[in-house]
Amino acid sequence: MNAPASMLKRGPQAIGGPLSFGGFALLFLPLMFIGMSFAHKYGIITLPPSARAIVLFSMLISVMLTGMPISIALGLTVLVFVFTTTTVPLDAVALKLFTGMEKWEIMAIPFFILAGNFLTHGGIAKRMIDFAATLIGHLHGGLALAGVISCAMFALVCGSSVATVVAIGSIILPEMVRAGYPMRFGAAVITVAGSLGILMLPSIPKVIYAISTNTSIGALFVAGVLPGILLTTMLCVTTWYIARKNNYPRQAKATWAQTWKSFRESFWGLMLVVIIIGGIYSGAFTATEAAAMSAVYAFFIAVYVYKATKLREVPKVLIRSANMSAMLLYIIGNAVLFQFVLTNENIPNALSDWLIALNLGPIGFLLVVNLLLLTAGNFMEPSSIILIMAPILFPTAMKLGIDPVHFGIMIDVNMEVGLCHPPVGLNLYVASTIAKIGITDLTKAVMPWLLTMLVFLVIVTYWPWLTLVVPQALDMHSGHEPFIPMWLAKYF
């Protein structure tokens, strides 16, 4: 759900046309590091632990720079490294792959993908847009504001940014153009508002982070609610200001009867929020079982309530979901092996000790993590970043007293920012395709909202209370987070 097929089929030619000197250099680098690994195996050179860690990461990065899909790059790097520089038997690698993929929580991913596909094509998005428009359509930029609100409502039940952009954008962008809004403005709003899909309640990146760090999925789900509401408000304020400045259209104020009618029509879709939160909080089912319930409920309302999806179309939805799930699970499988190699080489603990020795403290460490993740967002999509970075950064965060749920939501917000800017911002490409405008034009148009998201990232990073108050109030996470964290209070 988070990566288009074209991103998984790139070869060396994807770097930029016929191979030049730079292209040959990119091909030479991975061969050089692979050669160093084999030289170590046959005793030509001896690589100390620190050098082996450098070779491991350099090999991975150089292989990815050739345009090879990240999943294959991870698998190739791990197999070469294990075979040449460690004494780990290959059957232990196969066993680790099997046991790593056997985690119960991983089942949440295909179920949320299936639910997202039914929701996208089930008529739910249209009803949410209509309901949002009756609430705030009379304000400056009312239809754009309705787009932000409907993205937030859809995000509460979907779990994917790309699906949110497709579901809301394909309906509201033509309506905005007909109402007199510039297409660039509408596409920019939906590009950024669509990123709420991975912050509110269910979220595939949250599931991947939970799997990588053994953090509670349920706590991560509800931890995104308050930050999501704050980001929705900030995006609405930015949208309203730009619309008012440019005197964009307003709709007639809806009557209470119209608002009530649109609410009744969107009620069945919004009930999915109650099912997810109520089911997990009451203990009726786990977060993974909530994903399965979401898929079944989304199928029911799409086919039998709203009747926007015909029974004969269900096999196509299942096949599409299976393809997306297989793609993502293949990445996870290779990332499990990569994490195994990291642990075997003791890289996370060594890096943790080194970072703590720098005396950065929680404030400095979180700043470094944000810069690192924002940089990674220029080259990789969210799932790959979390699978690679989370196991490396998590031990340091724990030693510095940073809450694992807060740390996960902060990573999630970084992924949101990465989805909205080139060169691999998936929301940007999807919105560009729907709106039929160039990436460059859309990138310029999205900048005011992108700056808003960066301000929001700072707030989430240094105000853990915003993230933790809801899961702690629902007894889904231990402890009591003060309004201002202890490591920040000393500066006030």
pLDDT for the residue 411: 92
pLDDT tens-place string over residues 376-426: 887 777 887 888 888 888 888 888 888 899 999 999 999 888 888 776 677
d(CA 461, CA 362): 10
List CB contacts of 286: < 8 A, sequence separation 6 or more: 217, 218, 280
Of 307, 285, 376, give the one whose Cα is nearest residue 70. 376
Of 422, 414, 430, give the one whose Cα is nearest residue 164. 430
d(CA 68, CA 21): 18
pLDDT class of 492 with cuts at 50, 70, 90: low
pLDDT for the residue 488: 64
Enter the pTM of the model. Answer: 0.80
In this structure, the chain runs to a length of 492
> Cα-flanking dihedrals φ and ψ of residue 16, to 5°?
150, 60
Residue 355 pLDDT more than 70?
A: yes
pLDDT for the residue 16: 45
pLDDT tens-place string over residues 168-207: 888 888 888 888 888 889 889 988 988 888 888 778 888 8
pLDDT class of 167 with cuts at 50, 70, 90: confident
pLDDT class of 470 with cuts at 50, 70, 90: confident
Q: What is the mean pLDDT of residues 302-327?
A: 85
pLDDT for the residue 452: 92
pLDDT class of 483 with cuts at 50, 70, 90: low
Domain boundaries, the chain: 1-87, 88-492
Between residues 83 and 491, which one has the greater pLDDT? Answer: 83
pLDDT for the residue 233: 92
List CB contacts of 316: < 8 A, sequence separation 6 or more: none
pLDDT class of 14 with cuts at 50, 70, 90: very low
pLDDT class of 18 with cuts at 50, 70, 90: low
pLDDT for the residue 490: 60
d(CA 177, CA 187): 10
Please give the mean pLDDT across all residues of the chain: 81
Instruction: Provide the 8-state DSSP code for 70.
Output: H
Q: What is the mean pLDDT of residues 350-356?
A: 79
Task: Rounding to the nearest 10 degrees, give the CA dihedral for residues 419, 210, 74, 1.
Answer: -40
Q: Which amino acid is at 89?
A: P
pLDDT tens-place string over residues 82-139: 888 887 777 777 777 777 667 777 777 888 888 888 877 777 777 888 888 888 878 8
- If DSSP codes are grouped into helix, strand and coil, which group holds residue 238? helix
Between residues 288 and 209, which one has the greater pLDDT? Answer: 209
pLDDT tens-place string over residues 438-448: 888 888 888 99
pLDDT for the residue 239: 92
Q: What is the mean pLDDT of residues 14-35?
A: 67
Q: What is the mean pLDDT of residues 262-273?
A: 82
